[in-house]
Structure 1
Amino acid sequence: MSTFLWIIFIVVALLAGVALGFFIARRYMMNYLKKNPPINEQMLRTMMMQMGQKPSQKKIKQMMRAMNNQMDNK
């Protein structure tokens, strides 16, 4: 019976470790993306110019604000 209890203990510990690791990694990535957004103003300006639009600073700021609000809502 002792072997059976050890096997159950190992399986429970493994599942708890996987769950804990997932949530720690998720929180780390959320904080990382909040501090280092994948798109900055220069990249946005370049994308708009490649699409044939002349980006104004007001439009760039508006799009950055919209992306930041969307990131905060998640």
Structure 2
Amino acid sequence: MHIILMLAGMIIGLSIGTNFSWFFGVPVMAGSLLFWEMGSKAWREKQEGFLLVVGLACGALVLLSSIFD
């Protein structure tokens, strides 16, 4: 979850920076990096493992769909 929140914050900050002003976008991007410290270490490792499994499953589905399509 912390990785998804960090990624969303980086995308929002980049959007603010390119469409409005980098003066406001850079602090949003810098603040979103604080999500790396969210939760305990065991919780972060559990979340990273879950996202790894989800990513591998999505990669397998893309590979299978390209083979059978």
Band the TM-score falls in, shorter-chain normalisation = 0.3 to 0.5
Name the TM-score, length of structure 1 as normaliser. 0.39
Q: Which of the pair has the greater relative contact order for Cα pairs under 8 Å at 6+ separation?
A: 2
- In our comparison, the structure showing a higher alpha carbon Rg is 1
Name the TM-score, length of structure 2 as normaliser. 0.42
